[in-house]
Structure 1
């Protein structure tokens, strides 16, 4: 009888940053500026790769895919987060919350796999330079990119189906600024063992395996670079990998602290801070790192700036 009388929860209450009332306007403006710059920077990378013949190489093709993934990721979370900052807290339906989790999972998994694909590209370029154009054909690039997106969609859809079958009948408060999988599962009154088991099993091929692959490829790359006789050659070879290595360390570092080694339940503010770093700064840093450290990207930007300045707006 009790089970039949249980209240079915149809919406969650997101607390957002409820303890920052005095700083909400400042936080809103800061987050908005960072978000606009992040989206603009990633769009700029995509446009530069599309319109510049000098950037029609596998590394930049994968970079444009990474930027597209970052745009989808940040635009899924940040707009609703900005609204929560202004109003203090907000309600979201269970279906919309689970849908947000699905849209969060696709680019997250895709980025993990794309970073592995980019490390493979760098490995072939450094360790097998004579066979680079034979191996890294445009067909292979498209196949690898589509595979990353397909795996991201498929695995996220599996989690979505499992979450959609859960029932929620107890508390409905999520002390966060977006729907993350851990707090959503904790609120369910159903058996969540299957969801947690499948999530753990899927994390190996989409998170841990790509990370191990990146480590192995860069050990091989470093070994090859050290064998190059000239200092100039070693420096040039390493410079082609430094941007990707920096982005990979930044991405996997924040991802590990959030999901693999999460803070304790008492560190809610720490978790929110890491999530804020992950959702706002990581999408901003990626185009910045590549534009500042990559000679070809800087050269393309400077060329377009010179072209624009030749034709001033009247």
Structure 2
């Protein structure tokens, strides 16, 4: 028997463990042309919260009483597909199951000789691609410019800040604890860190950290922090709207400052970013990220939670700031 986690009901506000159900099922058997996959590492990501709403978005919502899914690194334990051999490792969008079958579509082979397997869910997966391509495609950072990153101790933000330093930017990171602020400065080379939980006036704090103004803002949180950054942008600033975790659990759309005047006056570009729109660039981006890691220019953090049963708890922990870097569950 294997364990599977189902999406039981849609949360109102922050998710809880009652939104999930752990069940057991018979072991699956691969048919002709299929592989049997054993989950090794499963990614939990803030965007999964959006899939819990029954509304149209850029990705299909989760269906009730069916398994959730996210990016998974798995081992091929049995193969009836000539493209995959027993003992190989793959990554792809897979279900929250200990064992499952796949026809092979959407699976990418990964090699533990290049990096630990969990890295292919983070810095060498969609996380790293989001950080690199979002910053490059929209931010266009230039040497000497000031880059501000929210969610700076998180999976995407910590990589964005390091790439900014590689590009010659002055980098300011916003995080939720003094420990995280010190970590991004000491470990990842951020020039300044701001603890948003202990800062009473974010507009003023950003002004002090960025005396020359903000040229590029990589936004992972939205809300009041975005409002504060907008008050400090330079002419022709670029804002990458990558995430809005501060709003994901809101039951109503909050009213905030209207940015039109700032955007017009400063001719600011503010653009949403979805990494899935840039699949053709994945290969070259992963090659660049791998090179930076090999050269020692790019480091990464992981928060690893052990145990399949802990998947819901790890996911909920994202909204409580319990992760530093990429949150993954080791099965």
TM range (shorter): under 0.3
Q: Which structure shows the bigger proportion of residues in strand conformation?
A: 2
Larger radius of gyration: 1
Larger proportion of helix: 1
Output the TM-score relative to the length of structure 2.
0.25
